[in-house]
C-alpha cells in the first residue's frame, strides 16, 4: 500500500469517551479518508461488511465480548481489513493476537500520536505489538491459581468453596484479590485475561 493512500478506519470501543476521542484523533489525520465507529460486535461486523475498512481499531474487551474473537469475525467478513487491538487494562501476546488474525496490539496508555502512528503502520501492511508491560500487579499465589482455574471451568463460588474445602467468604476474598491483581472488573474478564497470560491450566 502506498504511504499516501487514504485509509478507511473502523473504531470499535464500548466506552463513549474513548470512542469519541479515537474518532476525533483519527478524523484529524490527513491520511484518514473516513472514520467509522461501532460500540458493539453487531455494529462492527455490519460496518466491516458495508465499508470494507483498511484498518479496524478494536478494544480487547467489549463488555462481555472478546476483541480477539471479534477480530476473527471481522477478518471473515472483510478479509482485506487489518485489525489493531487496543486495551487499557489487559494484554494479549503477539502469538495469540496473530492467531486471531490481528496485525498489532497497543495500549491505551500510549500517546495519541503513537496510537495514530500505529493505525497508519498497520494500514500500510506493517505489524505493531506493544511490549509485555501489563503483567499482573503481583504474582498469583498457588491458591489463587487454583481458584482461577476453577473459575475458568465455570464453577460458582459455592462450588469452588466445596472443592477446595474453603468457606465461601474466603473464596470471595480470593476472587477479589484476583480481580485486583489482573486489573479486571468481573469473572469473565478475569478468565479471558488469565487465558491470554497463560495463567490457567
How does DSSP classify residue 34?
A: E
Q: Please write the tens of the pLDDT for every residue from 161-200.
A: 999 999 999 999 999 988 888 888 888 888 887 776 666 6
Per-residue HEC secondary structure of 37-102 comes to EECCHHHHHHHHHHHCCCEEEEECEECCEEHHHHHHHHHHHCCCCEEEEEECCCCCCHHHHHHCCE
Determine the 3-state secondary structure of 86 from DSSP.
strand
Round to whole Å and give the CA distance between 185 and 182. 9
The answer to whether 13 and 19 are in contact (CB under 8 A) is yes
Q: Is 154 helix (H, G, I), strand (E, B) or coil?
A: coil
Q: Averaged over 46-59, what is the pLDDT?
A: 96
Among residues 198, 197, 149, 199, which one has the least CA distance to residue 175? 149
Q: List all residues 6 or more positions away from 50 whose beta carbon is below 8 Å from its beta carbon.
A: none
Convert the pLDDT of each residue in 57-105 to its tens digit.
Answer: 999 888 778 899 999 999 999 999 999 999 876 677 788 889 899 999 9
CB 36 within 8 Å of CB 51? yes
Query: What is the pLDDT, as a whole number, of residue 32?
Result: 95
Q: Cβ neighbours of residue 33 under 8 Å, at least 6 residues apart? A: 6, 7, 8
Question: What domains are there in the chain, each with its CATH number?
Answer: 7-129 (3.40.50.2300), 142-197 (1.10.10.10)
Q: What is the pLDDT of residues 123-153, one digit of tens each?
A: 999 999 876 554 555 677 889 889 998 998 8
Q: Are 141 and 147 contacting, i.e. CB atoms less than 8 angstroms apart?
A: no
Residue 2 has pLDDT above 50, yes or no: no
From the CA atom positions of the chain, what is the Rg in Å? Answer: 18
Amino acid at each position: 500500500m502506498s504511504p499516501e493512500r487514504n485509509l478507511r478506519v473502523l473504531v470499535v470501543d464500548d466506552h463513549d469517551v474513548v470512542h469519541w476521542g479515537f474518532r476525533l484523533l483519527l478524523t484529524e489525520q490527513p491520511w484518514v479518508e473516513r472514520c467509522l465507529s461501532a460500540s458493539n460486535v453487531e455494529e462492527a461486523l455490519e460496518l466491516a461488511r458495508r465499508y470494507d475498512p483498511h484498518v479496524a481499531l478494536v478494544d480487547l474487551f467489549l463488555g462481555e465480548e472478546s476483541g480477539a474473537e471479534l477480530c476473527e469475525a471481522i477478518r471473515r467478513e472483510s478479509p482485506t481489513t487489518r485489525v489493531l487491538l487496543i486495551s487499557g487494562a489487559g494484554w494479549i501476546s503477539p502469538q495469540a493476537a496473530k492467531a486471531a488474525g490481528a496485525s498489532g496490539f497497543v495500549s491505551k496508555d500510549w500517546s495519541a500520536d503513537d496510537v495514530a502512528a500505529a493505525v497508519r503502520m498497520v494500514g500500510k501492511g506493517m505489524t505493531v505489538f506493544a511490549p509485555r508491560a501489563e503483567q499482573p500487579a503481583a504474582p498469583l499465589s498457588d491458591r489463587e491459581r487454583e481458584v482461577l482455574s476453577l473459575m475458568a471451568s465455570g464453577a460458582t463460588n459455592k462450588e469452588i468453596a466445596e472443592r477446595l474445602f474453603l468457606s465461601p467468604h474466603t473464596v470471595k476474598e480470593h476472587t477479589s484479590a484476583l480481580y485486583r491483581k489482573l486489573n479486571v472488573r468481573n469473572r469473565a474478564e478475569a478468565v479471558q485475561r488469565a487465558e491470554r497470560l497463560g495463567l490457567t491450566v
